[in-house]
Amino acid sequence: SADLKKGLPLVNQKILVTAGPTYEAIDPVRFIGNHSSGKMGFAIADELVKLGADVVLVTGPTAQVSHQRAVKRVDVTSAAQMLAACEQYYADVKACIMSAAVADYTPVNVADQKIKKQGRNLNIELKTTVDILRTLGEKKHADQYLVGFALETNDEEQNAILKLKKKNLDFIVLNSLNDTGAGFKGDTNKITIIDSNLQKTIYDLKSKDEVALDICNKLVELIKG
């Protein structure tokens, strides 16, 4: 396969991708999660392999499968596990595309036994998780590329630019929930890419596979200068 890959733009480049939701345990049978399907990240991992890259896909719980056998899949459950897996691979990679919907909060305590119902309200105290992308952004070397996503419902571009800067990204993929057909669950997505020069590209509504290729092409453009 080394010969077959020759001439592809990302040959010999290691790339880390994150996908899916994270699940934050409350007790042995319950968790806090979100509706991320993982489709976008799996599609990106497949496209990167087709472009010749060596891909590590760190994914939260999802029903997705990789269509490219060369994708190295690492399954995790929680935000803390996703952070640990990303930190393990980060030093060796040329680029990261972080599409996971990582929990922002996790329970302070995880009950070792199933919490019984009681005749009153239940409060679960939550603490913030570590921002994985921001942590990697702080360690980023001059020859590494970092791509994030932003899911916004309001002041989309302004919020996306704040995330781009705060997390030291090379570009950010803005998914607006105001665009019909975009978002977590469906097979289509509508994105805007904003790069570190604040150059903005608005893409049409497309299948997630086609969106994945647009994102990968933008990365190739940056890596190839």
Contacts with ligand CTP, residue ranges (CB under 6 A): 18, 79, 98, 100, 102, 104, 129, 131-133, 148-151, 163
Stretch that binds Ca ion, among 31-39, 98-106, 111-119, 157-165 (CB under 5 A): 98-106
138 secondary structure, DSSP code: H
Whole-angstrom distance, CA of residue 92 vs CA of residue 26: 34
Active-site residue (options: 12, 34, 121, 123): 34
Q: Which is nearer to ligand CTP, 15 or 52 (CB)?
A: 15
Min dist. Cβ of residue 101 to Ca ion (A) = 7
Question: Is 109 annotated in the active site?
Answer: no
Which of 75, 92, 104, 221 lies at the binding interface for Ca ion (CB under 5 A)? 104
Q: Binds 151, which of Ca ion, ligand CTP, none (CB < 5 to 8 A, cut-off by type)?
A: ligand CTP
Which whole-number Å values give the CA distances from 214 to 49, 161, 197, 210, in the listed order? 14, 19, 18, 6
Closest by CA position to 45, among listed 32, 55, 35, 30: 55
Residue type at 214 in one-letter notation = D
165 is in an annotated binding site: no
200 is in an annotated binding site: no
Closest by CA position to 15, among listed 71, 42, 55, 57: 55
In degrees rounded to 5, what are phi and psi of residue 19? -150, 160
Q: Which is nearer to Ca ion, 13 or 31 (CB)?
A: 31
Q: Which residues are catalytic?
A: 34
